[in-house]
Amino acid sequence: MNPMIPPTEKQDRLLYLKTAWQQDILSGVVFGQHENTSCCKDLRLRQVQKYILTGARQISHRYAKLRILQVGASSIVLVQAMHQELGKAIDSYTILDTSDRAIEDMKQEMISDDLNIRFGVNKIARDVRTLDKTTSQRPIDLGLFDLIILPKAYKEQPTTLNAIRSLLKPGGFLLMMVTGLHLLLGKSKLVLWVTPAQETKPRAKAVRLDLCEPSKPKARKRFCSSSTWIRSNGNESLAAKSFLRLIGGVLMRDDGSMRLWTVESEVSVQGGRLLIPRVLFDEKRNDRLNSLRRRVKARAPFKKQPGNLVRPIDPSELFSPSKTYILVDLNGHIGQSIARWMVKRGVRHIVITSRTMPPIEGLANVAMVQSNCFFPDLTYDALQEVLMPKVDRSAIPDEVFSDHDPDFFLLSSSISAVTGQPFQANSDAANRFMTGLAFQRRVRNLPASVIDFGPVIGLGFIQKIDSSGGSDVMISTLRGLGYMLVSERGLHHLLIEAIFIGKSNESPGITAGLGTVSGNAPFWHKSLLFSHIIQKP
Ligand SMILES: NC(=O)c1ccc[n+]([C@@H]2O[C@H](COP(=O)([O-])OP(=O)(O)OC[C@H]3O[C@@H](n4cnc5c(N)ncnc54)[C@H](OP(=O)(O)O)[C@@H]3O)[C@@H](O)[C@H]2O)c1
């Protein structure tokens, strides 16, 4: 450029340059790289397309001016994303499809995009060199491409794939998704699997890779004659050596040569060292196992034996009676055996989950939240908090088991719901709901009972008040209100009665805990409701 001539506005716009370093496609898998692809966020690309896009971006970084062929007129978003992301790195973009209609539809949908795309109708498998002259499309140049993309999951015959590959320049790239890995593996003689080392493998990938782990003889038989699985954290030279050893090993096996050579089905690279797995006897554990069978001959004279005396592991420290253990779906025979074994070793709390529920024959709700306040001070949240354990926790099982006839459906209300405690409007409402539900269930001919408990001593919320005499104060207050205390034994009697009443023709409610007091009559004595139980002084 002549420095005397002032730069044009266009040149101004391209004044600045920068050097960018980007990962080459050969230096690692593209999975996980797609987050860097800026346009992915705006375009709703599927995961598969993101991988293709990321791969294409890496290729275009190294090889500018790519001649790209996309086979299949689908995924407009991918075409748009490719143009956004690769931009000037695209020399030409050709889309081929076997269907006139698909090509026309795609053209119409992309009319406003103003992209320089060549469309063609061609059945590649039939003839890669000549275009299908019977179609209405104009022939296009199918010279060699740098990059071919098969955005739809590939499930065609290998001949089609071969035809597509023949449109690639030597060294060119084919980015494709494969439906059913077995289709590809079924045609492969040798396979080298390179995966991240086990300890760094993300969980989802671990499942995907182990699914077709080639070292399993069954998989090898189905898929390919030989394979090596290399778990590596980026040591390409060892990966390449393993592949060469695999090829060499297979060739020598076929030519009958008697060399000391193994074709490893699985190797691992850790810290630059190649590790080979072999199953060995675990002597330490075998000794421990066998020590359980050791007979002690009491009369034999003591004589020091060579070697170490092995003791079995003492399992007494393994578990704690105060901790809870979750056994997921361990209700099968082995699971039950494990649970029994744990109980023998002191476990007292086991949660066993299962997909198959044993029949439920009884249900009791004793949930409660206490929150005392006078009605004018009651907030919406405080009311909800108190209603939830009693209303939702009773209504939901009632609904879930609506066509089920269990032995009992037991709800726990409180004596205060009967007497009406001035500062317990919220819990009274919750308890009265339970009473209503029990009656409703009986009308539906389903078992139900509700107990209006008086103050229970020795356990429950009163016991928990505090250890510095708070319970005693509460108990004497309750006594003063004419409530009769319920013992644990009394509680159990109430349960039996309630279960029986729940299926009888009687009213499903049992009330327990009203006494009579001499002297100052408590507030509830004024109610006619109790006129039959109040004795005259
Ligand atoms: N104790 C008495 O003197 C007395 C008197 C009259 C009536 N009652 C009735 O007897 C029943 C039991 O009383 P309690 O003294 O044993 O009470 P508690 O010791 O306070 O126990 C209440 C239980 O309810 C659970 N809970 C609270 N909110 C829940 C929710 N949203 N969902 C599920 N569970 C929830 C709590 O479980 P978390 O561990 O999850 O918090 C707690 O285990 C109550 O229905 C009460 O109305 C008791």
> What is residue 279's predicted lDDT score, i.e. its pLDDT?
80
Q: C-alpha distances in angstroms, 73 versus 67, 114, 121, 515? A: 17, 17, 10, 86
For the Cβ of 485 lying below 6 angstroms from any atom of ligand 1, the answer is: no
- Whether ligand 1 lies within 6 angstroms of the CB of 389 is answered as yes
Task: Report, in this order, helix, strand and coil percent for the chain, each rounded to 5.
Answer: 40, 15, 45
Check pLDDT > 60 for residue 212: no
- Nearest residue (by CA) to ligand 1, atom 34, is 367
In this predicted structure, the answer to whether residue 453 has a pLDDT above a threshold of 90 is yes
Q: How far is the CA of 405 from the centre of ligand 1 (A)?
A: 25
Ligand 1 proximity of 393 Cβ (cutoff 6 Å): yes
**CA 410 to centroid of ligand 1, rounded, Å:** 14
Closest C-alpha to 223, from 257, 193, 258: 193
Distance 389 CA to ligand 1 centre (A): 8
Residue closest via CA to ligand 1's atom 35 equals 367
Give yes or no for residue 460 CB within 6 A of ligand 1. yes
Whole-number percent of the chain with pLDDT over 90: 31
Domains 25-179 and 362-530 share a fold: yes
Rounded CA gap, 277 and 497, in Å? 67
**CATH superfamily of the 362-530 domain:** NAD(P)-binding Rossmann-like Domain (3.40.50.720)
Q: Is the CB of 462 under 6 A from ligand 1?
A: yes
3-state secondary structure at position 198: helix
SS3 105: helix
User: Does 396 sit in the ligand 1 pocket, CB within 6 Å?
Assistant: no
- Residue 412 Cβ inside 6 Å of ligand 1? The answer reads yes
Pocket test of ligand 1: the residue of 366, 437, 452 to mutate, having most ligand atoms within 8 Å of its CB, is 366
Tell me the pLDDT tens digit for each residue of 96-137.
888 889 999 999 988 888 888 999 887 765 555 454 444 444
Q: What is the pLDDT of residue 442?
A: 95
Residue 147 contacts residue 68 (beta carbons within 8 Å) = yes
Q: Atom of ligand 1 at shortest distance to CA of 412?
A: 45
More confident residue, 298 or 355: 355
Mean pLDDT of 308-319: 81
Structure token digits, residue 117: 């795309």
Q: Which pLDDT band holds residue 215 (cuts at 50, 70, 90)?
A: very low
Ligand 1 centroid distance, CA of 261 (Å): 71
Residue type, 512: A
pLDDT digits (tens, 9 = 90+) for 35-65: 555 555 555 677 778 888 989 998 999 999 9
Q: What is the pLDDT of residue 205?
A: 42
Structure confidence at residue 15 (pLDDT) = 77
Computed on alpha carbons and rounded to an integer, the radius of gyration of the chain in Å comes to 39
Cα(394) to centroid(ligand 1), Å = 13
Average pLDDT taken over every residue of the chain? 80
Q: What is the pLDDT of residues 150-192, one digit of tens each?
A: 887 666 666 777 788 888 998 999 998 766 555 666 666 777 7
CA of 451 to the centre of ligand 1 (A): 14
Q: How far, in Å, from the CA of 250 to the mean position of ligand 1? A: 71
Nearest-CA residue for ligand 1 atom 40 is 367
Round to whole Å and give the CA distance between 71 and 392.
57
Name the band, by pLDDT with cuts 50, 70 and 90, for residue 244: confident
Which is more confident, 221 or 470? Answer: 470
Determine whether the shortest distance from the Cβ of 368 to ligand 1 is under 6 A.
Answer: yes
State CA 469 to chain mean position distance: 49
Query: Is the pLDDT confidence value at 518 over 90?
Result: no
Domain ranges of the chain: 25-179, 191-275, 318-358, 362-530
Any ligand 1 atom below 6 A from CB of 247: no
Nearest CA to ligand 1 atom 12: 366
The superfamily in CATH containing domain 25-179 is Vaccinia Virus protein VP39 (3.40.50.150)
* Pocket flag, ligand 1, residue 453 (CB < 6 Å): yes
pLDDT greater than 70 at residue 334: yes
SS3 63: coil
Which residue among 431, 452, 461 is best mutated to probe the pocket of ligand 1, counting the most ligand atoms within 8 A of its Cβ?
461
Sign of the CA dihedral 341, 346, 347, 349? positive
Tell which atom from ligand 1 comes closest to the C-alpha of 411.
45
To 10 degrees, the CA torsion angle through 20, 25, 28, 33? 60
Q: Is 414 in the pocket of ligand 1 (CB under 6 A)?
A: yes
**Cβ atoms 107, 74 nearer than 8 A:** no
Average pLDDT of the segment spanning 370-375: 90
Using most ligand atoms within 8 A of CB, pick from 368, 437, 459 the residue to mutate for ligand 1.
368
Establish whether residue 455 lines the binding site of ligand 1, counting it when its CB lies within 6 angstroms of any ligand atom: yes
Q: Residue 294: exposed, middle, or buried by beta-carbon count in 10 A (0-12, 13-18, 19+)?
A: exposed
Distance CA 369, CA 430 (A): 10
| Number of H-type helices and E-type strands within the chain | 16, 15
Query: Is the pLDDT at 246 greater than 90, yes or no?
Result: no
Q: Give the position, in ligand 1's atom list, of the atom nearest the Cα of 367.
A: 24
- Cα 281 to averaged position of ligand 1 atoms, centre (Å): 55
Atom 32 (ligand 1) nearest CA? 389
**Atom 29, ligand 1: which residue's CA is nearest?**
389
Mean pLDDT of the region 289-300:
71
What is the reported pLDDT for 301?
63
Q: How would residue 243 be classed by pLDDT, with cut points 50, 70 and 90?
A: confident
Share of the chain above pLDDT 70, in %: 75
